[in-house]
Amino acid sequence: MSRRGLLIILSSPSGAGKSTLAARLRIWDDTLRFSVSSTTRAPRDGEVDGQDYDFVSADDFRAQVESGDMLEHAQVFGNYYGSPKAPIQAAIEAGRDVLFDIDWQGAQQIKNSVLQDSVLSIFILPPSITELHRRLTARGQDDAAVIEGRMAKSWDEISHWDGYDYVLINDDLDVTEAQLKTIISAERLRRSQQPELVGHVRHLQSEFGDRT
């Protein structure tokens, strides 16, 4: 392992662009492992079980929470969402980055977990509330009542912006994507993410000793 893996968390209110940005990051770096969340909600058209989400029953989900097998979990719009711990920990220990598309509740749980030292958290803000509503309407996934529910919840989500390491305003997808790439590239080079540096420095020190 040349470096430790990162837990890269992307959060935003619905419609601010985090899912699109997460997909673009995976095209940029195909080694990024996307954390497939478990959920109790029904699949949407085109969603694939095990690829977009692991669709499980409420009883199965609660059993995993009670056994401590969920790294984070939350109830959103009447459905449960969560991230199974075992595959995430295995990826980090193998030096692979894991990408999360989750809300602030899940982000806070992961930042307080045993894997907190590997967390890189980024919050995506919309340029305006008017634009946020336009995006939710334009994507055509939800009816008017659901959209209004998401808009009502957006303020609570935005109010947690200051709990993240980085905050970006997604006014232009291309610009925001470039900023995300810069952040991730820099964080991968942090001293704490490179365990082999200690051995390399010790080798350099031994070379000095050989010269005396």
In the chain, where are the structural domains located?
A: 7-35+96-210
pLDDT at 132 > cutoff 90: no
pLDDT at 210 > cutoff 80: no
Pairing of strands 7-11, 119-125: parallel
Residue range 28-37: average pLDDT? Answer: 89
pLDDT at 1 > cutoff 60: no
pLDDT at 18 > cutoff 70: yes
* 150 — pLDDT class (breaks 50, 70, 90): confident
CB 183 within 8 Å of CB 167: no
* Domain 7-35+96-210 in this protein, CATH class: alpha beta
pLDDT at 211 > cutoff 80: no
pLDDT at 41 > cutoff 80: yes
What's the confidence (pLDDT) of residue 212? Answer: 60
Helix (H) or strand (E) holding 26, with range, is helix 18-28
* 148 — pLDDT class (breaks 50, 70, 90): confident
pTM of the complete model:
0.81
- Rounded CA-CA distance 186/207 in Å is 29
